[in-house]
């Protein structure tokens, strides 16, 4: 039997949050305490444009990841004549001590001046064209960072804007802050588009919290979206290795307790759910539902086409009675062979 989700402890993780180093309300210590109180054990503080390693805040049962959120500028008439919008990427450092993005305009930290004072990313242009975005992503990869494509819906991205992006480790399937701003930031379609183009990228459900509630309208944004990361040990290298292997799922509610493959039989167990979906880019869709009640187990057969089409994948969505969902990553044809 193969464990598609590893048979190890899973840790609740926030991979996108802002402290008062940029435009968040809480200090890094306060953020850690708020997340810790809600059962998290991994936190990446990804302040805008300022990369700070917070390793002194790590504890034996709580790991801080080094991160930053960078933004590139996209100009399009769709946003009015000469209109500008921003493409955002989160970077997670594979090396905890690595601080990078040497801005041309270094600021004191915490910053009392506007955080968006720079016009370059590590000496590179901030132009958000696909070509330049790919150059920036490639450099981030070279420097040792996992790159996440943030809130495509909130940024106003459409298929032509994202279809040629390269080198991403993950993308935000859901983002709490842009939902608080009114965006329909549930990006299953964007995820499938990128998967079908052959990108083996991971789903991220992220709070993008700027405080416990949204500054704009009081909508709750802390502990609304998270990733669960499977790793025996909670040290920096083990967590990064788990992220790179894809030993994770993303959620805004339900828990996935196991996912296994035995011959042709896939078995998923979860917290009480209204339904569990399995689907593939080969056209196979299967739904297991509670018929008015709930299900905690779903059994599927690997669709025959996914075994013969090299670029086929399967993925799973668990939806709770309240509509919240958990999503797995995509499992590719090579992983689905008995």
Give the shortest CB-53-to-Zn ion separation in angstroms: 18
Q: What is the Cα gyration radius of the chain?
A: 20
Give the shortest CB-156-to-Zn ion separation in angstroms: 12
Give the shortest CB-175-to-Zn ion separation in angstroms: 8
Q: Under rule CB under 5 A, which residues in 139-178 are in contact with Zn ion?
A: 150
**Which part of the chain contacts Zn ion (CB under 5 A), choosing from 58-66, 102-110, 187-195, 208-216?**
208-216
Q: Which of 88, 126, 174, 275 binds Zn ion (CB under 5 A)?
A: 88
Q: Does 208 bind Zn ion (CB under 5 A)?
A: yes
Please tell me the distance from the alpha carbon of residue 25 to that of residue 226, in angstroms, as a whole number: 20
Q: Does 85 bind Zn ion (CB under 5 A)?
A: no
**Which part of the chain contacts Zn ion (CB under 5 A), choosing from 82-90, 130-138, 225-233, 287-295?**
82-90
DSSP 304-335: HHHHHSTT-EEEEEEE-TTS-EEEE--EEGGG
**Which part of the chain contacts Zn ion (CB under 5 A), choosing from 56-64, 203-211, 268-276, 288-296?**
203-211
Q: Under rule CB under 5 A, which residues in 62-81 are in contact with Zn ion?
A: 69
DSSP 137-190: HHHHHHTTEEEEE--TTTTT--HHHHTT--S-SEEEEEEHHHHHTT---B-HHH
Q: Are 270 and 254 in contact (CB under 8 A)?
A: yes
Considering the complex, state which of residue 221 and residue 328 has its C-beta at the smaller distance from Zn ion.
221
> Binding residues for Zn ion, per CB under 5 A?
69, 88, 150, 208
């Amino acid at each position: 039997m193969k464990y598609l989700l590893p048979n190890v402890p899973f840790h609740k993780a926030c991979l996108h949050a802002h402290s008062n180093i940029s435009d968040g309300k809480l200090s890094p210590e306060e953020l850690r305490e708020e997340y810790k109180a809600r059962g998290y054990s991994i936190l990446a503080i990804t302040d805008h444009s300022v990369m700070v390693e917070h390793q002194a805040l790590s504890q034996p049962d709580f790991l801080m990841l080094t991160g930053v959120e960078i933004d590139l500028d996209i100009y399009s008439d769709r946003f009015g004549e000469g209109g500008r919008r921003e493409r955002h990427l989160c970077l997670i450092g594979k090396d905890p001590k690595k601080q990078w993005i040497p801005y041309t305009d270094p600021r004191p930290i915490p910053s009392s001046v506007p955080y968006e004072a720079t016009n370059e990313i590590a000496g590179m242009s901030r132009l958000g064209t696909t070509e330049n975005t790919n150059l920036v992503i490639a450099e981030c990869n070279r420097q040792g960072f996992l790159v996440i494509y943030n809130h495509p819906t909130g940024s106003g991205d459409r298929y032509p804007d994202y279809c040629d992006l390269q080198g991403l480790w993950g993308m935000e399937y859901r983002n709490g802050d842009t939902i608080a701003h009114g965006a329909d930031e549930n990006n299953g379609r964007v995820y499938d588009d990128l998967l079908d183009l052959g990108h083996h990228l991971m789903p991220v459900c992220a709070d993008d919290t700027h405080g416990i509630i949204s500054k704009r309208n009081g909508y709750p944004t802390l502990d609304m979206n998270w990733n669960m990361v499977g790793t025996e040990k909670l040290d920096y290298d083990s967590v990064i290795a788990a992220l790179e292997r894809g030993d994770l799922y993303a959620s805004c509610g339900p828990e996935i307790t196991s996912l296994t493959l035995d011959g042709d039989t896939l078995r998923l167990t979860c917290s009480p759910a209204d339904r569990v979906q399995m689907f593939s880019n080969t056209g196979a869709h299967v739904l297991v539902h509670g018929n008015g009640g709930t299900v905690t187990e779903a059994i599927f057969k690997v669709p025959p086409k996914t075994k013969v089409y090299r670029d086929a994948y399967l993925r799973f969505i668990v939806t709770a009675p309240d509509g919240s969902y958990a999503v797995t990553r995509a499992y590719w044809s090579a992983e689905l062979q008995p």
